[in-house]
Structure 1
Amino acid sequence: MMEEFGDVLASAAKTPRSPTKSPSISLSFLTKESNTRTFTAWDVDERLSELDTQFKVMKEVMNTSLSDRTAMDEAIRLAKTRANDLERERDQLSERNSMQQSEMTELKMQIQQLTLNLETERRQFRFDLEDKSRDHRTELDQLRRELKDETERQQRDHREALEALERHYRAEVEDERSQRSREVDELRAKLGSEQQGLNVALQAKDREMDQLRAQMEDLKGDLDREHTLKNSLQKRIAEITTLNMELEDRLRASKAKVEFLESDSKAQSDSYADMEARMQDAVHAAEEARQKLIKEETERRALFNKYQELKGNIRVMCRVRPALGSSEGEEARIMFPDEKTSAQIDIMGPEEKTSLGVVSRKPFPFEFDRVFAPNVQNEEVFGEISQLVQSALDGYNVCIFCYGQTGSGKTFTMSSPDGMIPRATQMIYETVTKLKEKSWTYTMEGSFVEVYNEELHDLLTPARDVDAKKKLEIRHDEARKSTTVINCKSVILDSAHTVETMLQQAQNNRSVAATKANERSSRSHSVFILKLVGENSATHERCEGTLNLVDLAGSERLKHSQAEGERMKETQSINKSLTCLGDVIEALGRGSGHIPYRNSKLTYLLQYSLGGNSKTLMFVMVSPLEAHLKETLTSLRFATKVHNTHIGTAKSTKKLKD
């Protein structure tokens, strides 16, 4: 409305109030020279018409102004009404603001009161927690004191019992010794006249001495039981200590939980809930992964065995010993033409004169599964046989033996500190540790025997402790395809240190002697028997494998070794058993119905490790010297015969646990 009024005023201002004037006409005044004939008179009608028009316009402007004034009055009235409404709304808002200020003040007072109550509750809870912790510490101290007192009491009782037993048996022995002394004196006095009665009395006394020895054995058994009781008490103490540690861990966990509950933070609660959910998800994922690992381990074993069968269940590898120096003699001409696969060795034969007098050497090429040059270390050699060690863990019978003339490095390869036996046991320990994640647990039991002059000897029992009445006997279990040596000492192998100790003990007890061919020649075949029993708690599978690591005695010619007497007998026995080994392998290759295992103690011991239910690896050891060339060619020809032998498919010894 105001805008329209402004537009009208602007239009009125632009409209002229008087009629438009024509351009001024210069007036002519009457003079004596004026021409009165040209003078024009004033037009009164035209001026009246213009005034009438201007009046009408002014009237319209006045009417418009009155209308605009009415509109302005209406707008002012509306503005006053709106201002009154705003005033009332402001009053209402002010009143509401005052009420909210009062409520806020009351809420602040309530918060202060709640804070005071919370602090009081926290203080009371802290006091209660300290009381509980103090009571728990008191209880733990009491338990420790009781445990210590009980341990000291049992140890004291044990010592007193041992001392009493020792005094008692010492007194009995002294009494017996005194009595025997008196009897001997009496017998000496009556020696001349009562010779026949003395012999009878001596026989009676011998029987009594046997009884006393039996009693002493019983006493030793009692002492062993006392030691067992002591060990069980120590184990109980360890269990109580473990329980104490668990209680302390629970206490720490409770404290952490209390501290967490004391923190009045929703963010921490949400974080804890999120972490709990993530932990549960992780536990489920871990369980699924573990089940998947168990399944994949079973598949891996099947695929691994198929791969091993494709490579052959009997393999032959050749290793050339490095020369120890020029003092040993001239080296033979040995070449390794196949560098890509390292599977071939060429031996230049001895010098021969032709009919024309030309001196030449005939080459003798041999090919095996792998050939190791003199510069190859034991680590690389073991890398080639480690798969067979894995097969033993999977439940197969595995036999690895070294064949070759004396001084060719068989014992070094098998029993040196970094040889095949220590490396195999180390690999088994590492693999068993990894398989625990897949629910497999293994027990390992080792024994060490030697075949000397066709007789079995236990290398873990010193010769002075051997009971002549308890000979070692070989027993075969046809159903389980396993072999047991009766009266042979077995050792539970629970650590690498145990294996080292056993190897050192066996090395000290093994039969060696000096010959013209070797200063320290092994005069027996040593067999390290490692039995592996695995159980899977998830799939209830059970597998039994045997790993036989054999260090054969050196084959040698009597003419070269110049053995005499006992050494000659040993050499003949060694060569006979090696010949029997060759006959067994040849019979297996032919698929003969009769395998001559019983022709030698060595082959009879390794019956289930050479037949169709096994995986066999032969190391043929070669001397680098020209002087040993004939023995080298003989060993390589025998190894070639073994390499061309194919035995049946190996089967693992597996079954489900009851």
Structure 2
Amino acid sequence: MSRSHSVASSRRPNGHGIPRPATSLDTHDEEDSAATVLGKRKGAEWDQESREKTMEDLMNTFVTKMSQAGQESTGMKEALELYKSRVSELEASRKEITDMNLSLRVEMESLKVRLGASEDALKDAQREHEMEIDEIGSRQRRELESARFDAKRELESLASQHQEEIRELKRRFDHEMEDERAARLREISQMTSQTAIDTQKTNMELERKEREITTLHNDMQALRAELERERKSNRDLRQNLDTASSNSVTMESSVRALKARIEFLESGREEQSQAFERLNQQMMDALAETNATKDKLRKEETLRRKLHNQVQELKGNIRVFCRVRPSLPSDPPTGSAQIQYPDETEDSKEIAVLGPEEKSSLGTITRKNSNFSFDRVFGPSTQNAEVFDEISQLVQSALDGYNVCIFCYGQTGSGKTYTMSSLDGMIPRAVHQIYETATGLEEKGWRYTMEGNFVEVYNENLNDLLGNPEELDKKKLDIRHDMQRGKTIITDVTTVRLESPEMVETILKRAASNRSVAATKANERSSRSHSVFILKLIGENDITGERSEGTLNLVDLAGSERLSHSGATGERLKETQNINRSLSCLGDVIAALGQGKEGGHIPYRNSKLTYLLQFSLGGNSKTLMFVMVSPLQAHLAETLTSLKFATKVHNTHIGTAKRQARVRDS
């Protein structure tokens, strides 16, 4: 059992999966076992049988071992063959690996040689490249210095030439301005002289009539006094005569003389009475002529009002003026847009805005120009006085009992507030003209009362600019309309009785002060809100019984910048959105009025601004729009947008205005 186990264990596979061959070492255990048996038997009987049996056992054992040794030999041979085959394979693999290793070493040596050559070539190329870069850098520095020197010299030349051109243009411009100013002054002087002459003639005629009446009246009073003195003297003489007659006959001569004197005085009294009657008749004739003249003047005033407003209606109840503000010292010197005035020497109704030059793929240079036409175009050199001359007729219409609205439209910085609210702007000039005209109408029986309000529309809220500044943006004002009378009422608003033109300057300063207080809490209010100056004119004629009620609205609109270009955020974004919405609503209202549909819907309620101006924008009113234009190239896009909007307004007809007048109840 132990032997078979030993043989089995000797043939277990080794680490290579090949069974180990059996050797003579594997039989040591069996031999030791046999010796032990023989030793045990030495003590036994040594007889023939036992010896034979022992030999037989030994022989069997030997045969068995020989059989096993043969089997082991066969296994050893097979294993040897396997080992030889494996050794051959390993030898072939080793040789293949050796050959591959040798090939790789050769290739590596070759690569080392090539790498060294490449590094040398790279270093040479790097040195050449650095030398070339140094050479190019030196050459470029020399060329740059040369170009810089040439450019500097050319720039100095151009600057000198440009300065010379500027001086020449300035001299020419100053000369032209002086000529234009002199021509304007001559025209104004001629017009003023002619007006003064006409006024003086009328005043002289009236003064002459008044002097004649005064002279006749004084003569009549003097004759009455003389007649009374003569009568008193006559009574005294009669008394003296009676006394003298009773005293003495010696006084007869005196009596006769006195009688002669009395007779003379009696005849003089008749002549004086006749002269008094003649003077009295002359005075009555002069008074009748004066009354007839005044009646004629009243009729002529009524006819003048009628003809004046007919002329305004022929011009259109909605008119558009364009004004280009002059360049300011703070403006960039080379940033002016190219604006032309084709009919500047004629009607001054056209304006052309030249776009930037564009070069096509064929090299052709083109320029996109935009031409616009309005009722009047004012260039940068126009003063406020000349502008007001054009709108003064509309101010007169307000005195005649019409609703008039004048508003300025344009982007921030285009001159709206300067045109409206400066010391010589439209608001002060309008009030001065109204006072002067009202004073002249007093002799025709007219008496006027004037009341003013000043409000602003900020973020769709109405604020009182003449009230308490602490209540600005807090006090709620409501707009109410009297549809029967066509009147607008603002609740809780401050109303100022304008007793003199100087009061206008006071309320303008007050409104500006309130807006500046509000500006510390928000943004610059003058450009972020709409301001509306409302002047109510109530006239009564004691002679004819007429009564007129007119309203003049002077509106400074907020800046018209588009939201995409304003870059506004936060509170400024809300302001811009409200401004754009109210200006858009203004355009919608004017467009709806222009359609002229009977009973058509007019969207006045879409914004506070249009709702406030409801009775001053419709067909019963007269409207003038100022489109204000900035001269800067940077504002060109906004300028074109403003001019296009003004063109739409200019093409709108809103019907015939109606006068708010009636005969006063007796």
Q: Which TM-score tier does this pair reach, normalised by the shorter chain?
A: 0.5 to 0.7
Contact 2:403 2:615 in 1 (8 A): yes
Instruction: Indicate how the Cα distance of structure 1 residues 324 and 269 shifts in structure 2: closer, same or farther if over 3 A, else same.
Output: farther
How far the C-alpha of 1:539 sits from its partner, in A, is 1.7
Q: Secondary structure at the match of 1:447?
A: strand
Change (3 A) 1:278 1:499: farther
Q: Which residues of 2 match residues 472-621 of structure 1 at below 5 A?
A: 472-510=477-515, 522-558=527-563, 560-592=565-597, 593-621=600-628
Equivalent of residue 349 in structure 2, options 343, 358, 362: 343
Q: Which residue of 2 aligns with 1:378?
A: 384
2:656 alignment partner, one of 646, 649, 653: 649
Shift of 1:562: 3.6
Residue 307, structure 1, aligned to residue 311, structure 2: yes
What do residues 287-341 of structure 1 show as CA deviations (whole Å, max 9, x unaligned)?
A: 1111111122222222222111111100001001000137434111111111211
Q: Which moved more, 1:497-506 or 1:444-453?
A: 497-506
TM-score w.r.t. the length of structure 1 is: 0.58
2:428 to 422, 430, 441: 422
Instruction: Tell me the distance in 2 between the aligned counterparts of 1:274 and 1:519.
Output: 76
Could you tell me which residue of structure 2 aligns to residue 321 of structure 1?
Answer: 325
445, 449, 467: which one aligns with 2:455: 449
Query: Could you say what secondary structure the match of 2:484 adopts?
Result: coil
1:577-632 Cα shifts (integer Å, max 9, x gaps) = 11111111111112351111111100010111111111000000001111111110
The corresponding residue for 2:285 is: 281
User: Deviations for 1:390-432, whole angstroms, at most 9, x for unmatched residues?
Assistant: 1111111110000001100000101111111111111100111
Say if 1:444 and 1:494, in contact at 8 Å, map to a contact too: yes
**Alignment correspondent of 2:110:** none
RMSD of the TM alignment (CA)?
Answer: 3.0
What is the aligned length? 407
The answer to whether the 8 Å contact 1:400/1:617 transfers is yes
Shift of 1:355: 3.0
User: Quick one: distance in 1 between partners of 2:373 and 2:472?
Assistant: 45
Q: How does 1:325-404 map to 2 (within 5 A)?
A: 325=329, 327-329=331-333, 330-338=335-343, 339-404=345-410
Q: Secondary structure at the match of 1:505?
A: helix
Cα 1:108–1:301 shift into 2, 3 Å: farther
Q: What whole-Å deviation, never above 9, does each CA across 1:416-460 have from its counterpart, x for those lacking one?
A: 111111111111001111111211111111101000000000000
Give the alignment partner of residue 466 of structure 2, picking from 447, 460, 465.
Answer: 460
Q: Is the CA contact 1:406–1:521 (under 8 Å) kept in the aligned structure 2?
A: no
Give the 3 Å change call, closer, same or farther, for CA 611–112 of structure 1 in structure 2.
same
Against the structure 1 CA distance between its residues 349 and 115, is the aligned structure 2 distance closer, same or farther, given a 3 Å change threshold?
A: farther
TM alignment of 1:71-220, pairs within 5 A: 109-110=254-255
Instruction: Give the residue type in structure 1 aligned to 2:332.
Output: E
Per-residue deviation at 1:568? Answer: 2.4
Work out whether residues 463 and 473 of structure 2, in 8 Å CA contact, stay in contact via their aligned partners in 1: no
Aligned equivalent of 2:641:
634
In structure 1, runs of 5+ residues without a counterpart are: 1-104, 118-260
Q: Distance in 2 between matches of 1:382 and 1:281?
A: 44
For 2:253 and 2:389, the matched residues in 1 are separated by 79
Preserved CA contact (<8 Å) 2:463 2:472: no
The question of whether the paired residues in 2 share the 8 Å contact of 1:407 and 1:521 is answered with no
Instruction: Say if 1:513 and 1:493 are closer, same or farther in 2 by CA, change over 3 A.
Output: closer
Which ranges in structure 2 are unaligned for 5 or more consecutive residues? 1-249
Post-superposition CA distance 1:472-508 (Å, at most 9, x none):
1000111111111111111111111221111111121
Structure number with greater Rg is: 2
In 1: Cα distance, 2:372 partner to 2:319 partner:
14
1:381 alignment partner AA = V
Closer, same or farther: CA 281–399 of 1 in aligned 2, 3 Å? same
TM-fit CA distance, 1:512: 8.8
Change (3 A) 1:291 1:403: same
How far the C-alpha of 1:352 sits from its partner, in A, is: 2.7
Q: TM-score, normalised by structure 2?
A: 0.57
Report the counterpart of residue 91 of structure 1 in structure 2. Answer: none
What secondary structure, in the 3-state scheme, does the structure 1 residue paired with 2:535 have? strand
